């Protein structure tokens, strides 16, 4: 179970790096416009907000990555904290922005959280 938890934490961290790239670097590109279903004008208007959100996603990924290099007794606490943040952010995103965030962010976070708790 421990290996599955570590893999799940890594997947969630990788997803958040990808979210950060999409929001921080690709938001106004054709890829970003397609993913976020925005016009070029709308994307340009809210670009700075997306960049800020991307930075927060990078913080989440960094915190999960940090859990791989600390003492084992601290690793689980970091994973629980940052995965909890991922789940809460995903639920809030689903309620306020897009229901799809529930499946892309909150669900993987919740699965990883369950695996960490079970490990």
Give the separation between CA 118 and CA 47, rounded to whole angstroms: 39
Please, what is the average pLDDT of the chain? 96
Residue 52 has pLDDT above 70, yes or no: yes
| Residues 67, 80 contacting (CB under 8 angstroms) | no
Residue 86 has pLDDT above 90, yes or no: yes
Helices and strands in the chain, H and E counts: 7, 0
pLDDT band, very low/low/confident/very high, at 99 (cuts 50, 70, 90): very high
Question: Which CB contacts under 8 angstroms, 24+ apart, belong to 65-74?
Answer: 65/13, 67/9, 68/6, 68/9, 68/10
Dmax (CA) of the chain: 48
pLDDT band, very low/low/confident/very high, at 72 (cuts 50, 70, 90): confident
Counting residues of the chain whose pLDDT is more than 90, the rounded percentage is 95
37: left (phi over 0), alpha (psi -120 to 50) or beta: left
Give the separation between CA 99 and CA 57, rounded to whole angstroms: 18
pLDDT band, very low/low/confident/very high, at 117 (cuts 50, 70, 90): very high
pLDDT of res. 101 = 95
| Residues 109, 2 contacting (CB under 8 angstroms) | no
What lies within 8 Å, CB to CB, of 9 at 6+ separation is 64, 67, 68, 79, 83, 112, 116
* Averaged pLDDT, 37-64: 96
pLDDT of res. 1 = 66
């Amino acid at each position: 179970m421990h290996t599955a938890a570590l893999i799940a934490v890594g997947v969630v961290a990788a997803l958040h790096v990808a979210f950060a790239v999409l929001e921080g670097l690709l938001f106004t590109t054709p890829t970003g416009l397609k993913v976020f279903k925005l016009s070029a004008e709308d994307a340009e208007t809210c670009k700075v907000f997306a960049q800020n959100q991307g930075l927060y996603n990078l913080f989440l990924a960094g915190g999960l990555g940090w859990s791989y290099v600390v003492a084992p007794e601290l690793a689980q606490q970091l994973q629980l904290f940052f995965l909890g943040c991922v789940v809460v952010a995903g639920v809030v995103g689903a309620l306020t922005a897009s229901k799809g965030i529930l499946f892309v962010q909150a669900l993987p976070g919740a699965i990883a959280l369950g695996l960490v708790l079970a490990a």
